[in-house]
Structure 1
């Protein structure tokens, strides 16, 4: 029975997404995600050292979780190029998958934490500013890391070495894909638990927070339209991130538990998760004035080295935005970013600037 079950879970090449498409998505995520996340990580690290605020601490940890995926992507590129086989040393298989799965659920948890921070800033601005402590964000970050890593460490190493298989000596074996019946009895319920606790609950909380933020901001006539648009764009970027990068992969957990087998299309959801590394910098840009300045300065340096008229025209908007931010005007976006500058509140609790 175990042999039959194992064979039924082998992923045939015909059922997989085209190899060229998978490699293209991985390369796109790596080329766009690595420089933007390294720049964001450097900017947040400097900001946290100078003046730590909760939102910057959460975003710094989110950036680090993205770098986990990016450092793992070359392994996935090699695997995809060789038709989903694992030619690398066997001990790298569980290690690489541990980093991969941990980074997925670290991202969902920290995206949830960022949404809660923004909701508190908008819904309860005065109370939140008085009670805001960087220690709370540090404790929450430590809890998220322990929660995600402990779950993924258990499922990857326990399942991979359960009922020892002969994959260690098979040069053309797959990595963490084909399971025996005994392994499936462990991995399928565990995946369902991961989906509910580390994806579904954070997604619901994130939706509630952003819907509430948009509802509150749109009900205030004294808020500039571009500020409301920025808040809506921020919410949409986060929802798209959850829906495109994480939802298909976690839906495969539910389908696999119901069908009591490894879904054949589950492999195709892997390359979608890498798009998280490209979408998160968009979230950073809308949520943090620090990142907007860093990206603006970086773009201006590129433009200053180019004599292209098109590039000079494109630089006009970032330059204008940078001047507005340096003017010291307090905006809703700065408040959402957790600015440490005291904010004058109106009767509604939001600055009129």
Structure 2
């Protein structure tokens, strides 16, 4: 019961904080891309869309947590919710990595990169990321229907009625297929992007520290972006991906896997802070909103 209530509280907090922040970011990036698109704006716009898609299906996870991890909604929503839930999480890791690469190339090779800096390359990268995550996580969509058709022993007595849980309990045969796939997710969609991000941001910070013509305020903001992104990457995505490795070693489904998803869920409301540090357009929009709020409060007084 405590476990379900903790998940529900984190889901509600993420939803209430993430929805307005990401909608504001989405409007800002749409205007920026329409006016004059840059690769970083395309990447951040896709990251915002990914977060909004995640938040759109988060109420179904809230209902699941409220029902003590039982799936009492129409079962057709289970595969779709799980699929989009995990696709958007792993898509965020790839997009954050792409942002780190774009930042590194901009300071390491400013002249050469400016010659080939085209928004369409960022669009192709985003399309590739969506296809990569969707193809790697298609089993999340297929497995619940397989469990329904076969009848999950111990949790469902007949094949005609759907399982009582959604992507939570697995047979030994299913785990023999599922655990190697999870290990592949850990290596391909977490380890590789994280190592690339570490390389890019460490060198990004070293290069900035040696540049004399950058103001102290801008240098600190860029360093905060680099360190903040790495911390978000490690804290939000590390625990859940670590469960893949532990599960593969012990050849069993870890009971704390969904608890590790708590940190991954928080990523949807932490990304706007990255947007604030990465984009002058977002900072300008937030400053205008803040000034309007202050002016209205002053008038009310």
TM-score normalised to structure 1 length: 0.79
Instruction: Encode CA deviations 1:213-264: one digit per residue, 9 max, x unaligned.
Output: 1000111233222112111211122112112211111111111111101001
Q: What's 2:241 paired with?
A: 250
Distance in 2 between residues matched to 1:262 and 1:18, nearest whole Å? 17
Question: How far 1:161 moved relative to its partner?
Answer: 3.1
Partners of 2:82 and 2:141 within 8 A in 1: no
Verify: 1:113 aligned to 2:98, yes or no: yes
Structure 2 counterpart SS, 1:228: helix
How big is the alpha-carbon RMSD for the aligned residues of Structure 1 and Structure 2? Answer: 1.9
Structure 1, unpaired ranges of 5+ = 1-12, 313-353
Question: How far 1:19 moved relative to its partner?
Answer: 3.3
Q: What's 1:24 paired with?
A: 9
Q: What's 2:287 paired with?
A: 296
Q: Relative to 1, partners in 2 of residues 1:232 and 1:170: Cα closer, same or farther, differing over 3 Å?
A: farther
In terms of fraction of residues, the more helix-rich structure is: 2
Verify: 1:181 aligned to 2:172, yes or no: yes
- Correspondences of 1:126-275 after superposition (within 5 Å): 126-153=111-138, 155-162=139-146, 164-166=150-152, 167=156, 173-275=164-266
Structure 2 counterpart SS, 1:275: helix
Question: How far 1:159 moved relative to its partner?
Answer: 2.5
Distance in 2 between residues matched to 1:249 and 1:215, nearest whole Å? 30
Q: Which 4+ stretches in 1 moved above 6 angstroms?
A: none
Verify: 1:76 aligned to 2:67, yes or no: no
Partners of 1:87 and 1:171 within 8 A in 2: no
Instruction: Encode CA deviations 1:20-50: one digit per residue, 9 max, x unaligned.
Output: 3322211111111101101111111111112
Instruction: Encode CA deviations 1:47-88: one digit per residue, 9 max, x unaligned.
Output: 111211111001100111111211111111111111111110
Structure 2, unpaired ranges of 5+ = none
Distance in 1 between residues matched to 2:52 and 2:143, nearest whole Å? 25
- Correspondences of 1:50-69 after superposition (within 5 Å): 50-69=35-54
TM-score normalised to structure 2 length: 0.93
Structure 2 counterpart SS, 1:36: helix
Q: Which of structures 1 and 2 has the bigger CA Rg?
A: 1
Distance in 1 between residues matched to 2:270 and 2:296, nearest whole Å? 27
